[in-house]
Amino acid sequence: MTDLADLSIPEASRLLRTGEISCRALTEAALARIEARNPRLAALTHLNTSAQEEADRAQSMIDAGDAQPLCGIPIGIKDLIDVEGLPATSGSALFRARVAAADAAAVARLRAAGAVILGKLATYEFAMVGPDNDLPDPPARNPWNPAHITGGSSSGSAAAVAGGMMRAALGTDTGGSARSPAAYCGCVGLKPSFGRVPVTGSFPLSPTLDHVGPIAATVEEAAIMLDAIGDEGWRPAAGRLGTGLSGLRIGFARDWHAADPETTPGVLRALDDAAAQLSMLGAQITLIPLPDYAVCEAAASVILHAEALDIHRSLIADHAGDYGRPVLQSLAFGAALDEADVRNARRAQSRLTEEMSQAMAGFDLVLTAAAMTPALPFSAFDGESAVWTPMRTIPFNLTGHPALVLPCGFQSSLPIGMQLVAARGAEDILCATGAAFERATDFSVQRPPL
């Protein structure tokens, strides 16, 4: 029999509604998996000791006829997002005594849907940079090889999902913070359209780039999560699941990664194979150019660091000693910027958003890489100088387009992720395409050798 902890959200939801399993049994299976695997992966930083009682409340909802797909489903929350009564450290010694007084908006919506909160998950300090071994909690480790990083900053969310401790978790994404860990850990990361999911109750990094979104074992589960936490009035992300790809128009932005010397051969092959697979499923693949990535990254970096410094300026004045060195170095970049730098970056943001929309016109989706390499080893971060992990995620925080990352291959037994991008509000097309790719391949069903 399948371990309850391995049941997909739709499978578990069906069995809960028919009474074949109970919410408490499902939650206890997740807690047992956490007890067995978290010491190795360091994904969960704070356990919710009331999880079983929450499961009993969810059971009462089901017994009363509540058929919401997340009712009774165990979920983890990145420790940048408030959960009432649980520590809210944002991964920093500065907030080691902070406890959330209320649920973040997305968490409140999960609770309303009957989800069971398992606890808080590791994050890079204030969602900025990592991994950092000098913080109160150790960095999360990649389930495929614990000697390698998870990516960040939603490090614990990806490690917990890929490590089989839960099927879905909440993360945040300001420059790829949900999508890069998903790519490195072989799970699904979904950054919604800007403004679709409220960020209230999530400690801000850069408010004009911040997003809250799901990390999940499959695209369908990510879509179910998004529909539970998003605002009303958007097309349901799960609304087109199961549809085919015949006639779908996909622009393949191959030059964005193929022309970059940082791209490893395995990533290039995996993306080419993914484009071929989508073509065999009926999609029309066309090579397209996108705005210069370096310009996108530079503009987004200026905005992110300027806004981050504004948020932390007063805290640093009184508590600089409680910050990790990498975060202080990152904030120093913001201090070097002047008003003209920020004004020029915002003008570039407007121009690049228009250019991206023009480049995507005539296409349903764009395909590109998520990361240019598999997850790096922790040993690469032992020196004093910063290590760059080349990504292709931050432009879509700048433009607000929804983006989905899902596994598409392996290199040296480490996952590779592809990224699909859609027009604003078209998460349904995004998820339908990702789910069709999953059905045609076996990448999402492969699990790390735990």
CA 286, distance to chain mean position in Å, is 27
Structure tokens at 87: 């520590």
Contacts of 375 (CB under 8 A, 6+ apart): 142, 144, 145, 148, 149, 150, 151, 184, 185, 414, 415
3-state SS assignment for residue 214? strand
CA distance 311 to 92: 15
Phi (first) and psi of residue 332, to 5 degrees: -65, -30
Active site residues: 78, 153, 177
Pairing verdict, β 403-411 and 284-287? unpaired
Q: Is 32 exposed, middle or buried (0-12, 13-18, 19+ CB in 10 A)?
A: middle
Cβ atoms of residues 410 and 355 within 8 Å: no
Starting at the edge strand found earlier in the chain, the sheet holding 74-78 runs 44-47, 116-121, 74-78, 168-173, 211-216, 188-191, 403-411, 414-422, 365-369, 249-252, 284-287
Pairing verdict, β 403-411 and 414-422? antiparallel
